[in-house]
Chains A and B, each alone.
Chain A
Amino acid sequence: MSDRVRLAGVHKRFGDKHVLKGIDLSVAEHDVVCLIGSSGSGKSTILRCINLLETVDEGAIYLDGEIITRRETDPNLVRQFVGIVFQSYNLFPHMNVLDNVTLSPRRVHGKGRVEAEDHAVALLERFGLSDKVYEFPDRLSGGQQQRVAVVRALATEPELLLLDEITAALDPELVGEVLGVIRDLITDGMTLILATHEMGFARDVATRVCFLDDGAILEEGPPDQFFSDPKMPRTQQFLRRVIDAGRL
């Protein structure tokens, strides 16, 4: 099967700071790739590079075989196929839930209001938000806000979804409802790349786990092997710390 996304030797610098040091990563259709690693290792940066919120300094990123990291690419076209959800939800506070969700379908994808709203309401219903359609974000719990953010990304019908630690800002008791939503997406066959600190979840749902350390993928593999039999000392050390912190 051909790759949906491929990163080839991607380097990224912020000024003098070398943040990504030659990332190679292939993601096939229906893959669920989990990026794990300590804070500052470059997980968010990888995701932001894939949907072109950041430019790449060296190397290339391919989407369905086509190189997207070149000047001619229209980032807005890429983003119509690649959705992203952020740790901090980033809902638009001046719009209600429905307007948040229908903004892109209407303005970017040219859908009519009725069609966009019907679709949005159906999605909101599916993720248990049918009574929040006309609510403003500041009246929602963190978990609800994050679910709305996922729905907002889904409303554009992306073929690939990037999730950047979307449970990290949530109270522990709200994490479950958001992870449940991701499980549903995986059941539907959505291709996902997610940065996460939820190791148990990664072990459950990932088709592949990549351990990032200081801007490089140090080790990767299927979750069973990765979590039970890590090869690299850095990986072992990281997992031990995670286990000590009670996150696995």
Chain B
Amino acid sequence: MTDTDNREPAEAIELPAGSRFVSPGSPGLFNGLFGQSGSKGALVAFASTVLFLVVAAIVILNSEAWPKVQNQFLNWEHFKASFPAILGAFWLDMQMFAVAEVLILSFALLVAVLRVLRGPAFFPLRVLSTIYIDLFRGVPLLLVIFLLGFGVPALDLPGVPKSPMFWGIVSLVLSYSAYTAEVYRSGLESVHESQRAAARALGLTQWQALRFAILPQAIRNVIPALLNGLVSLQKDVALISVLGLREAVREAEIYKARTFNYTSLLVAAILFLIVSVPVARFADWYTARDRRARTKGLQ
């Protein structure tokens, strides 16, 4: 035959799938779920995951206690029966979550900024914010909720709200802001000192330098960490249930106490997962994209 048969061996040199000369393309939202991003790697990961699940399922389903457990935790009738009330209560969780998150992001920013202010005039504020952070990072959130949620209303102070929702949210905000303020602070410290000097040299005040030059860069640097905090807050909202507030977990417990069936707890778990998994995936995706953008900027 003709020339196709005696082509140069160059044709045989093929770039492997994971080659560093081949652009992996834009990151997919679900990339990283299986570790490797190449299609072959994904296949292997997928197969081994399925295998694991099948083996686990066989072991569990054949165990002696399984029928009893299934009835206790996975009862479809109880699932349907408990779902509407828990979903309604879950909506309350999400509202509290949203309110708390907005307050946390703002309050923590204020605390972080107070902590990095320069000049002797701000010394008391610096000390105050440091004490606050140390205090609330050290005490478990659950304790804060107990102390504020039961303690403050018991004082019976005039004009001070007594609602468990109010004190629950206050507890979340106080506790989470302490962490979040430290996240912001690490962001502020990641911006090079020369940026501040450049801003001040242009005549900007300390505040203006922060607002226009430092903070935008600092916040961008910590968005992945803030997103992680978001995921974690989303589920910690349920801790407010200890104050007797009828949010999803509480509602599920009430159902369980009435029927002696645990399926309602699974309902609540699934609802929390439906919200948290996408946020977690988004956080990973954003972090990966951001890292890529940065390393590109360095070249």
User: Within residues 158 to 198 of chain B, which ones have a CB less than 8 A from any CB in chain A?
Assistant: 194-195, 197-198
Residues of B within 8 A of A91 (CB): 198
Place the interface of chain A in its size category: 20 to 34
Q: Is there an interface contact between A104 and B198, defined as CB atoms closer than 8 Å?
A: no
Q: Is there an interface contact between A94 and B204, defined as CB atoms closer than 8 Å?
A: no
Q: Which residue of A lies closest to B298 (CB)?
A: A138
Q: Which of A77, A90, A92, A152 contacts B197 (CB 8 A)?
A: A90
Q: Is there an interface contact between B220 and A79, defined as CB atoms closer than 8 Å?
A: no
- Report if A94-B216 is in contact (Cβ < 8 Å); known contacts: A86-B194, A88-B194: yes
Residues of A within 8 A of B297 (CB): 138
- Report if A104-B204 is in contact (Cβ < 8 Å); known contacts: A93-B217, A94-B216, A94-B217: yes
Determine whether A84 belongs to the interface, using a CB cutoff of 8 Å to chain B. Answer: yes
Q: Which residue of A lies closest to B297 (CB)?
A: A138
- Report if A156-B200 is in contact (Cβ < 8 Å); known contacts: A90-B195, A94-B220: no
Q: Is there an interface contact between A86 and B198, defined as CB atoms closer than 8 Å?
A: yes
Chain A nearest CB, measured from B296 CB (Å): 9
Determine whether A38 belongs to the interface, using a CB cutoff of 8 Å to chain B. Answer: no
Q: Which residue of A lies closest to B213 (CB)?
A: A92
Q: Is there an interface contact between A108 and B208, defined as CB atoms closer than 8 Å?
A: yes
User: Within residues 105 to 149 of chain A, which ones have a CB less than 8 A from any CB in chain B?
Assistant: 107-109, 138
Residues of A within 8 A of B204 (CB): 76, 103-104, 107-108
Binding site for B on A (CB under 8 A): 51, 53, 75-77, 79-80, 83-84, 86, 88, 90-94, 103-104, 107-109, 138, 152-153, 156
Binding site for A on B (CB under 8 A): 194-195, 197-205, 208, 212-213, 216-217, 220, 297
Q: List 6 A-B contacts (CB under 8 A).
A: A76-B205, A79-B201, A84-B201, A86-B198, A91-B198, A153-B202
A-B pairs, 6 with minimum CB distance: A90-B198, A104-B202, A108-B203, A79-B203, A84-B201, A94-B216
For the complex with contacts A76-B203, A107-B208, 13 further pairs of A-B residues with Cβ separation under 8 Å are A51-B201, A53-B197, A75-B200, A77-B203, A79-B200, A80-B203, A86-B197, A91-B198, A92-B212, A92-B213, A94-B220, A108-B202, A156-B203
